[in-house]
């Protein structure tokens, strides 16, 4: 649920309403270990030399 909310917020910021659109990128990692399966999702938005990211585990 959190990952969907974060992705929606970054998509809204990237729509270009206040200037050129930002292009967010998203990555999901799945890890299988002795304690089970873990997933991690992250979103990164780049604009010039500035990068902003968020990750949910």
Q: Which residue has the higher pLDDT, 57 or 36?
A: 36
CB neighbour burial string for 10-39, b if at least 16 within 10 angstroms, e if fewer: beebeeeeeeeebebeeeeeeeeeeeeeee
Question: According to the model, what pLDDT value does residue 32 have?
Answer: 94
Question: According to the model, what pLDDT value does residue 50 have?
Answer: 76
Question: According to the model, what pLDDT value does residue 1 have?
Answer: 62
What's the pTM value of the predicted model, to 2 decimals? 0.47
Instruction: List, for residues 4-34, the tens digit of each pLDDT value.
Output: 777 776 666 655 555 666 777 888 899 999 9
């Amino acid at each position: 649920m959190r990952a969907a909310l974060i992705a929606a917020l970054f998509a809204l910021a990237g729509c270009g309403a206040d200037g050129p659109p930002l292009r967010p990128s998203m990555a999901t990692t799945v890890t299988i270990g002795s304690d089970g399966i873990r997933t991690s999702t992250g979103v990164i938005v780049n604009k010039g030399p500035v990068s902003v990211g968020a990750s949910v585990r």
